[in-house]
Structure 1
Amino acid sequence: MATAHELTVKNNGRNVLLKFTDADLIVDYGGGIMDDEHSSQCSSVSCFSGFCRTHNTRLDQVPFRQVIGAYYAKGSLKVSYLTRNHKKNFVLCKCEGAVEEEHNTFAMDWADKLMDAAYKGAKQSKTLKVLVNPRGGIGKAKSIFTDQVEPVFLAAGCTLDITYTEYINHACEIAQELKLKYDAVVTVSGDGLIHEVLNGFAQHEQPGKAFAIPIAPIPAGSGNALSLNLLGIEDGLDSLAAALNVLKGHPMKADLFSFIQNDKRRISFMSQSIGLVADLDIGTDHLRWMGDSRFLYGYLRGVLSLKTCPVELSFRLVEDDKEKMARFAQENTGQKPCDPSSSGVDDLEELPPLRYLGGTEEGWTTYEKPFIWIYAGKGPYVSRSLMQFPVSLPDDGLIDIAVKEVVSLYSFILLNSCLKMVKDNRAKLLKALDGAEDGVPYWSTTNRYFKVSAYRIKPLASKGILAVDGEKFPYTDFQVEVHQRLGTFLSQYGRYMVNFKVQEPKQVLK
């Protein structure tokens, strides 16, 4: 019998009880364990038809955030949800059962109430523009989408407009002409596809409204930094967790950058790097088959070579006190999803003006010590194994810059200890791997860290590697400045999902 928030459905003469509390959906299968033959027919999908399920339990307790669909039609109730397997990854469960005729009205109302509780104000049955890069990462983006993600979107009742990109900047061309009817743009690839979409928005006839369309990544590349920052280290590489974020996420405003080089302006959302970190990114592009392990390989190779980075760095400094920056970030990581209407940029008819290009030298600081790399960007994680910018915030209107110093060769020659310098610096660089996924190297005394409103770089050598959002750019002069809250991403949390601890002075690395 149906009672408040409880409903019994039938399949093959057996009852399954569904009910929901203030926080969870409970599915009580009430039957025995399925046999091996039946189990082998169902890998990741469960259903009431035959009582298939992904685990040998008689009861599922599912948080509302993991319920994605509940629909009643023609005497049948369908419920879809995500649950975690033994590896802590999400799997899709689909449930269907017949409802007795006298409970049809109640079943329809029950499904509506469950959906209201499950989505909590997020739009149901979204209209999504999906861009899949079949060549992204290690080439599994297409199967990740068709086998894992698309079934989740369809179970949630979404309308999908799918395009498989065919060449470089294809996504940019699509975004430039994109109709403003979509609830989100979903990118199934690495961070490079997001870079293309944002630069397409920059050329849109209504750039403000285009930038207001949220972008939501499905991790299918090498680094997947944005997904890691939005979902956290535990779920950042789980394609179904990312799909859930598409369904349940709210628009979150985020800063974007203008990258100006050779009088050409491009949008950057993640990072710009030069020196060792650029070498390990672009210089290992031929090793994409290794996944994000290629970054570790590139780092170790760079440590052995120990090359300094001959460039001139200047910036407009806002803050360089590490403890102050860390405490401020810690105090501002519990934000609720921010109101996208408060950005003030949605009605832009063109990109925000550049404030610092070709202006006075007043307010600029030149960094003069030798260093191994420069890494500038937005978002704590740049890969699963490296929290490069642990005090980065989505919309503080600032660029985070990390500079890895190295003691000058000339000074050590004077001290007749050149060999020790090489040994010591390699040891420090290798030690920087310790706790890199938790941001520990932030505290190293050889890791200088700045928050700036703009910066510029002039290479002092003819050859080198410059990476912007993980893509190779010409190794020539460039300048970067920030545009506060210009971009929009989908987030269930309204902040970067990072757990960075402020250390006591005695714990600071040398």
Structure 2
Amino acid sequence: MSTRELTLTDNDSSNKGTSTVLKLTEASLDITAGTSNTSTRRQSSGSRLPFLGSKASTTVTQVPLRNVVAATTSSDVIEVSYLARKSPRHGLSLIRVKGSLGDKDSRLAKQWCEAAMTAAYGGRSPSKKLKVLINPRGGRGQACSIFTDKVEPILSAAGCILDVTYTTHPNHAMEIAQDLSLDTDTVVVVSGDGLIHEVLNGLSKHGQPDKAFCVPIAPIPAGSGNGLSLNLLGLQDGLDPRAAALNVLKGHPLKVDLFAFTQGNQKRLSFMSQTVGLMADIDIETEHLRWMGDLRFVLGFLRSVVTLPTCKMELSIKLAEQDKMKMANAVRARRAGLSSDIPVVPLSPPLDDTHDPGSPGDTWIKYDKPCLWVYAGKGPYVSRSLMQFPVSQPDDGVIDIAIQEIISRKDLLASMDGADKGRCYWYNTNRYFKASAYSVKPHAQSRGVLVVDGELFPMQEFHVEVLPCLGTLLSPFPYYAPEFTFDEESGTKLKQES
């Protein structure tokens, strides 16, 4: 695309006569403000905004094309909307630049806007038909204001058609997803991870489930943990509703594995995790502290260190891999665009398949010792403070399983250091597996709870089977955003328990 440039004049009374130059390049929209006052220019990468307190009379702001939301024209006025940060520590802000072409040909304005939108969206239509689900009671109870103040202005600027529903009762989102119109471009979920669980289970009951599961889901973080948003967007953007709104507009479909959860006659879909033991207790026992956000999990962990509850069960795992270094190298190879050595299950088993651990060729292992917890799931982060599954991949056809053996209170407290970067992965007392299926049978005297995607289930025998690539999300990347780093020479410099 050749460089295209426009000069706008601000006719606002306070800035009358000030010119703004808009220049499209291969990678960015360059905005030069204040050109009528001086020819001095200061380069900016989008972190310094001339209209947010800059003292220089002329500033060049380079906005990545991905951050351009809209470029529209009415009469001879052009308005450009984009997202940028005041500083690296701030979240994204929606910025608008507006000006007139004066007596120039209005066709020039239309042509420039069309070129800008083509460049910003890669030729795709920015206007999408969105089904928006908002849980007013999720997390800190701020989902409504998050949507109206931060998300809706971005989606509306892009010309999206919004069908908004505020959920009013448990399973409301499931009921809506069950009847989802298949011409919906994306389901936008403004809540925590629990509402996504409802949506996916609603899609499984849809009249055309195969087509319904192809409709992408995009989370807007408004819950306590917001694990899915963190996994798609990373730590910097994963808790930023505006960054999540930009993902709704610019993200690409990412196929992800789901899980068939069976307990007695009940069958459900799970997308994130199943937890038994101390970690499950934390989730349920801090439910009344949702107003604290993800700090509730840290407080709950500290409380549990005092009581140190253990769980007893028989765990059967259909093993795919257990070599930690091999699994870590596979993630690094995926991010580098190389092939992975981790086996992938090619076909998705039907939801009504019966469990048969004696099938020919299966490699089943058993774990039958008391432990602190069993955590199984998909996606590196379960909350900002815990990277539980650092080597998880969205579509490798397996579920990651971590079993924390019993350790002292001192070591348990020490494990908090670096938990947000996956440090515990390397501990010898953290048994880690990739599996295509697993079963849990609690001992009769076992106490505690079972939590599936943040929802409470009876502490009874259950079975989980991987459903490869059944779900569809929107993501900026073809892999999970968080990067798991480790020392390449020794694998880790962390202390290993004996």
**What residue number does 1:78 align with?**
79
CA-to-aligned-CA distance 1:85-117 (integer Å, 9 cap, x gap): 233310001122222343322221111111111
Quick one: which amino acid aligns to residue 247 of structure 2?
N
**What residue number does 2:52 align with?**
54
Please show how residues 349-428 of structure 1 align to structure 2 within 5 Å. Answer: 352-355=350-353, 357-358=355-356, 360=358, 363-406=363-406, 425-428=408-411
**What residue number does 1:453 align with?**
436
CA distance in 1, matches of 2:346, 2:127: 28
CA distance in 2, matches of 1:127, 1:222: 28
Residues 1:15 and 2:14 aligned together: no
Report if the CA contact (8 A) 1:20-1:26 is conserved. yes
Report if the CA contact (8 A) 2:311-2:446 is conserved. no
CA distance in 2, matches of 1:32, 1:11: 11
**Corresponding residue to 1:153 among 152, 155, 158:** 155
Report if the CA contact (8 A) 1:257-1:269 is conserved. yes
CA distance in 2, matches of 1:93, 1:303: 46
CA distance in 2, matches of 1:236, 1:441: 22
Which stretch of the first structure deviates more once superposed, 53-62 or 173-182? 53-62
Report if the CA contact (8 A) 1:232-1:498 is conserved. yes
CA-to-aligned-CA distance 1:419-471 (integer Å, 9 cap, x gap): xxxxxx11111111111111111000110100011011112236411110011
Please show how residues 438-477 of structure 1 align to structure 2 within 5 Å. Answer: 438-460=421-443, 461=445, 463-477=447-461
CA distance in 2, matches of 1:403, 1:356: 25
Report if the CA contact (8 A) 1:335-1:495 is conserved. no
The percent of aligned pairs where both chains have the same amino acid is: 52
Deviation at 1:32, TM superposition (A): 9.1
Report if the CA contact (8 A) 1:268-1:468 is conserved. yes
CA distance in 2, matches of 1:198, 1:79: 36
Quick one: which amino acid aligns to residue 7 of structure 2?
T
CA distance in 1, matches of 2:123, 2:421: 33
**What residue number does 1:190 align with?**
192
Count of aligned positions:
464
Please show how residues 310-329 of structure 1 align to structure 2 within 5 Å. Answer: 310-329=312-331
Note the residue ranges of structure 2 that are not aligned, 5 or more in a row.
12-16, 38-48, 339-344
Deviation at 1:505, TM superposition (A): 4.7
**What residue number does 2:67 align with?**
66
TM-score of the pair, normalised by structure 1: 0.87
Change (3 A) 1:5 1:31: closer
Quick one: which amino acid aligns to residue 350 of structure 2?
P
Which stretch of the first structure deviates more once superposed, 271-280 or 299-308? 299-308
**What residue number does 1:483 align with?**
467
Deviation at 1:355, TM superposition (A): 4.7
CA distance in 2, matches of 1:95, 1:352: 52
TM-score of the pair, normalised by structure 2: 0.89
Q: Secondary structure at the match of 2:111?
A: helix
**What residue number does 1:431 align with?**
414
CA-to-aligned-CA distance 1:375-423 (integer Å, 9 cap, x gap): 000000000011000000000000100000116xxxxxxxxxxxxxxxx
Quick one: which amino acid aligns to residue 25 of structure 2?
T
**What residue number does 2:486 align with?**
502
CA distance in 2, matches of 1:29, 1:190: 40
Q: Secondary structure at the match of 2:126?
A: coil
Deviation at 1:333, TM superposition (A): 2.2
CA-to-aligned-CA distance 1:257-293 (integer Å, 9 cap, x gap): 0000122110000000010110111111011111100
Q: Secondary structure at the match of 2:471?
A: strand
Deviation at 1:226, TM superposition (A): 0.3
Backbone CA RMSD of aligned residues: 2.2
Report if the CA contact (8 A) 2:129-2:185 is conserved. yes
Note the residue ranges of structure 1 that are not aligned, 5 or more in a row.
34-50, 337-342, 408-424
**What residue number does 2:205 align with?**
203
Change (3 A) 1:506 1:150: closer
**What residue number does 1:411 align with?**
none
Please show how residues 124-163 of structure 1 align to structure 2 within 5 Å. Answer: 124-163=126-165
Change (3 A) 1:403 1:496: same
